[in-house]
Amino acid sequence: MRVSLWSLAAMAGACMAQGDIAALLASQEDLSTLLELVGLVPGLADTLAAASNITIVAPTNEAFAKVPRNIPEGEAIEQKNDTVAIGALLANHVFKGVYPSDVITDVPTFAQTLLDISYIIDRQPFSNFTGGAYNGLVKNGDDVCIISGEQTISTVTEANIKLGEGITIHKIDTVLSFGAPFQLFTFRGGYLNMNAALEAAHLNFAFGETGADVQGLNISDYTIFVPTDEAFENIGSILASANLETLQSVLSYHIIPNNVIFSPSLGNVTVPSLQGEDLTITVLPDGSAWVNNARIVFPNNILYNGVAHVIDNVIAPGSFDRASLKPSAPASERLAFPSATPVASLPFSSISFATDLMAYTTTPELLKTVAAIATPTGNAGAATTTSSGVTEFTGSANAVLPGAVAAVVGAFGVAGALI
């Protein structure tokens, strides 16, 4: 199988003679594992060297040694016998665009990589975003960090190694992780009520699961809002009496199809939901972001084929007046179902991925505290082009201005087919 790195030059932009990437890697003692892996994919070193406008985040030998050997990419690193898995792993470390360390801010920039759906092995595909998987770049104190799937944080240990004008390389201490399918994320993250509710709702589509036993059609390029377990419990009486149609309507209202919306791009806009009615997004001067009456409490969880934002309330289909939002009120006083009361147990209990052995036991502090949006004192940034034609990106490009309703579909990321 010819993986998509073969066409890297066309994907990354104009090509020019940049230099010998193999020689550069060979000159760095702590990148010898990366050099070996690059050499396993025929023609990759030459293709990378010819590419322009890319940023390579290069795991050190120690970073590769830490990858668990019981996952496909870990097995590939250990056995060096699966060029598709190795190709997927390396593609996830190549950003489209030049991101030198001095343009990264404390508001994350989510940028696409060269990892696409063409990387598939018998056990799994590795990602399914139109245009490439996403990872985030963010400043954390004096450090530059990369946010990837599975709540993984990688820290840049040496920045801005240049190979010609169009390639920037940053060394990192942790290999980037692939995003998990949504239901695997909900199980590992402990959002079990959302997991069980989706299992009970039978919406007739999947969120990235693969295999013969998967029910429904897969979707990609979506944004989903995930109520906490407590949020579901707070409306337990409503759920106890809800029929299947109502449950389907409520859950599909939490999904935005055909739009990958990371929090730095949010503004005071309305966005159509999968259910059909609009969601009202609100961004306040204090940097908080809201969907209807629910606050986004944990944004930007990178999935296999979408992005998940955790919210503190279940939201209800229907029009919402932004002026009615009471941001100082606790979640229990902002219920979308005012008559709801808690119940001893919810009416659904079947859990997807319940046999999985992994859980996110400790969420990295950076993911708890990173700025969701650019406030007036933040640096939203933009893209600039240098005299040599290299495009450098600063902060969060493509921010949506308040009231830009008509631009939502175009500006909020990548368009894709729902089914």
Where do the domains of the chain lie?
Answer: 4-172, 187-365+399-411
Give me the mean pLDDT over the 242-258 stretch: 95
Least confident of 102-116, 117-131, 283-297, 326-340: 117-131
Give me the mean pLDDT over the 119-138 stretch: 91
Report pLDDT for 2.
36
Report pLDDT for 285.
92
**CATH number among 1.10.357.10, 3.90.650.10, 3.30.10.20, 2.30.180.10, domain 187-365+399-411:** 2.30.180.10
**Whole-prediction pTM value?**
0.86
The fold of the 4-172 domain, in CATH, is FAS1 domain (2.30.180)
pLDDT at 296 over 50: yes
- In three-state form (DSSP H/G/I as H, E/B as E, the rest C), the secondary structure along the chain is CCCHHHHHHHHHCCCCCCCCHHHHHHCCHHHHHHHHHHHHCCCHHHHHHHCCCEEEEEECHHHHHCCCCCCHHHHHHHHCCCHHHHHHHHHCCEEECECCHHHCCCCCEEEEECCCCCCECCCCECCCCCCCCEEEEEEECCEEEEEECCCEEEEEEEEEEEECCCEEEEEECCCCCCCECHHHHHHHHCCHHHHHHHHHHCCCEECCCCCCCCCCEECCCEEEEEECHHHHHHCHHHHHHCCHHHHHHHHHCCEECCCCCCHHHCCCEEEECCCCCEEEEEECCCCCEEECCEEEEEEEEEECCEEEEEECCCCCCCCCCHHHCCCCCCHHHCCCCCCCCCCCCCCCCCCCCCCCCCCCCCCCHHHHHCCCCCCCCCCCCCEEECCCCCEEECCCCCCCCCCCHHHHHHHCCCCCCCC
Report pLDDT for 212.
61
Report pLDDT for 279.
98
Report pLDDT for 247.
96
pLDDT at 410 over 80: no
Report pLDDT for 41.
84
Report pLDDT for 136.
97
Provide the percentage of residues in the chain whose pLDDT is more than 90: 61
Give me the mean pLDDT over the 36-51 stretch: 82
Least confident of 46-50, 72-76, 215-219, 258-262: 215-219
Same fold flag, 4-172 and 187-365+399-411: yes
- The pLDDT confidence band at residue 336, using thresholds 50, 70 and 90, is very high
Report pLDDT for 406.
28
Q: pLDDT averaged over the chain?
A: 84
Provide the percentage of residues in the chain whose pLDDT is more than 70: 82
Report pLDDT for 386.
55
Report pLDDT for 94.
95
Q: What is the pLDDT of residues 350-389, one digit of tens each?
A: 999 889 888 887 889 899 888 888 765 444 445 555 555 5
Q: What is the pLDDT of residues 180-237, one digit of tens each?
A: 999 999 999 999 999 999 999 988 777 766 666 666 666 789 999 999 999 999 999 9
Give me the mean pLDDT over the 295-309 stretch: 96
Give me the mean pLDDT over the 24-47 stretch: 89
Report pLDDT for 405.
28
